Chain A
Amino acid sequence: MRRLALSLILAATPTLALAEIRFAAMTDNAPERPVVEALMGAAPEGVVYQTAVVDLDSDGGAEILVRLRTGEDCAPATPCRTLVAQHGPNGWRVVLDWPAHTVARGQRGFGGFLSLVTDGSHAWTWTGERYRLDVTRTGEAVTFEAAPDSARALLADQFGTGARKLVDEGKADIVVGAVDLTGAGAADLVARLEGAGACGRVYGCPMRVLRIVDGQYVTILDGFGSGATSVLPVARDGHRDIASELPRGGHAIFGWTGERYAASNHNAPGARR
């Protein structure tokens, strides 16, 4: 399917003066309709495709943003699934798939692609293959440092007996960082197991968030991370989300469930490459 000449499409659309990208219901004769339906199929009953065409990389060709709406608007409690499709060497493909209320243009970055900002808080940057959550720009970055010797063994126990053996033999180590997840000033501890054999090529390194409860540490997050980790401005039940990069442009977002953190969303680019 051929890429769409942006000039032809923009000729039919009003000038967008604001940073926020405006979506409009996709008409029957919209030039992007064949692309959207090839990627998504025909809109199911009750679902409306809204589209916006934007040249994200300034190459004269259009990228297509598609938003799936089922109601009057993207309600606060139910954001709309939003996708970005780009025409590449092998045809059209989805390079971003995220639930959002709003999408806005950000700054130009890698490859000349505009970054995107969803809901005013989540920044997405181009990796060369897809859009990736910019963990450091989206929240407050966690600064990791090597765990003190006195605590290393105890922290390793949080990752299991096997991890303890790796740490004891010097084949893995623990890095830690402090975070304030509730805004109350109390620090929780982010710990990550790193080293040869500890981390996976898809999900990255085991990561825990520990909290002092009744004088003892308990695990409130059992997950993975690789690279940057940050605390997001989005909070659930008084606890801010935690985002972490994953290998090869992936990311994971953890949200508070009421008792502990769970993976709210993650994108771990394939077991194969």
Chain B
Amino acid sequence: MRKFALTLFAGTAIALCAAPSAQASFGEFIAATCGAACSDTTGETSQARQNWDALVTMGTTEWIGADFNGGKIDASSLLSAARIVGASELDRWLRTGQAADGNILQTMAGALTSGSGFNVSSITGVLSGLSGGGSSLAGSLSQLASGTPMGTITSTLTDSSSINVNFMGPGGGGGDYCDEGIAGTQNAAAQKHIDDMVNIAMSNDYGFSQMGGAGVGSGQKSSDGFFGMSCLDKFMQGTRDTLFRPPQLSQLVAMIGQMGGIGGAGGGSGGGGGGGGACDGAESVLQQVAGSMPSGIFDSGANGGFFPYAGFAGREGDGSGLNFGNAFNMVSNATGGSGSVSGDSFGLNKLFSAAR
């Protein structure tokens, strides 16, 4: 679960003895929620009154003073969230953790944190909690605002991880959203793949080797396994190294030929001359290399490139070599969250028959 950043409005302490104009203060709330150029302040004010009435009716105000995301829920934060999704959905989320989807949840949580600290007493008849003050001061004012001893506020929301959010089941996000359960499974599988790749790369048997033959992980040259071979051995015995594939002999010969200005010499389909005399000994080296080639090397498939995951299925085109296949269980078997649906435990049946 993602943590929500706490944004408190520092420096908005309100003097207990000389409260500013309540109407002006609510204007600050409107500016913060509807915007400085809000075109319907009358409507916003009316909506806020209706929301507060609904919040009181449902008992949602019992959450005032509760810890949330490092701060406190106050009246203005409840109104800020209710303004966006409606008071009943806010109440449902606070009580059950259920929200329509992750985007709605994020919106409500953001409003609860960013909407706190405004004086909405003209709407609610009570002072909002302060921000930036000490815990004792904020706690006292919350008690004063709610008229409820702190001890009776039993619901405490610490951060989003404590909230049992019921998303819309497997693939419930669609479009712009991702079901948290599936996202977690995918992330875990991706991380496992990364970890597996790192482990393989660092291993002595199949890992990368440095120029001197030392293993990346151990820093030591192994006497057996991949690191036990000389560079030429590794170069020529491609099947021992599932991570590195030597170029085709034809390419190798062509490269040597180009170096020495030799055209089309050697085995394989290499060739291409051009250049001249860059490497005097190239021709003799070429003959030595070609002569020492095991005939099977000419049957190698396409080489080159580095596709570590694909390599674990063996060389392209054949089933020889080490075959890890799906050994790392990369197939996603995500089934998503519980996706529990709310059932009609009261047995509502045949609504339409009754209605019509």
Contacts and interface: CB of A to CB of B under 8 A. Distances in A.
Interface of A: 147-148, 150-151, 154-155, 157-163, 165-166, 169, 171-172, 176, 178, 187, 189, 193, 196-206, 210, 212, 215-220, 222-224, 253, 255, 257-266, 270-273
Contacts of A273: 34-35, 37-40
Contact of A202 (B59, B85, B172, B346): B85
Contacts of A187: 352
Contact of A224 (B85, B172, B349, B352): B85
B115 to A, nearest CB: 10
A197 B86 contact: yes
9 contacts: A148-B354, A163-B91, A165-B58, A202-B85, A215-B349, A219-B341, A224-B85, A258-B170, A264-B174
Given A166-B57, A197-B86, A257-B171, A212 B100 contact: no
Contacts of B107: 202-203, 271
B349 A216 contact: yes
A258 B57 contact: no
Nearest to B96: A160
B33 A223 contact: no
A132 to B, nearest CB: 17
Contacts of A264: 174-175
A200 B92 contact: no
Contacts, number: 202
A206 B89 contact: yes
Contact of A158 (B53, B59, B342): B342
B328 interface: no
Contact of A216 (B47, B82, B111, B347): B347
B118 to A, nearest CB: 15
Contacts of B96: 160
**How extensive is the interface on chain B, given as a class?**
35 or more
Contact of A151 (B95, B168, B170, B348): B348
Contacts of A223: 100-101
Contacts of A172: 54, 88
Interface of B: 33-35, 37-40, 44, 47, 50-51, 53-55, 57-60, 82-89, 91-92, 95-96, 98, 100-101, 103-104, 107, 111, 168-177, 339, 341-349, 351-352, 354-355
B100 A222 contact: yes
A167 B48 CA distance: 19
Contact of B101 (A189, A201, A262): A262
Contacts of B169: 257, 259-260, 262
A79 to B, nearest CB: 12
B351 A189 contact: yes
A263 B172 CA distance: 8
A178 B355 CA distance: 11
A157 B170 CA distance: 24
B47 A201 contact: yes
A196 B344 CA distance: 25
A218 B341 contact: yes
Nearest to B35: A272
User: Which of B47, B342, B343 lies at the interface centre, i.e. has the most chain A CB atoms within 10 A of its CB?
Assistant: B342
B92 A154 contact: no
A215 to B, nearest CB: 6
A32 to B, nearest CB: 28
Contacts of B345: 216
Contacts of B83: 200-202, 271
A216 B344 contact: yes
A197 B82 contact: yes
Nearest to B99: A222
Given A150-B354, A206-B100, A253-B175, 10 more contacts: A163-B58, A163-B88, A197-B87, A198-B86, A200-B86, A201-B83, A260-B341, A262-B173, A271-B111, A273-B35
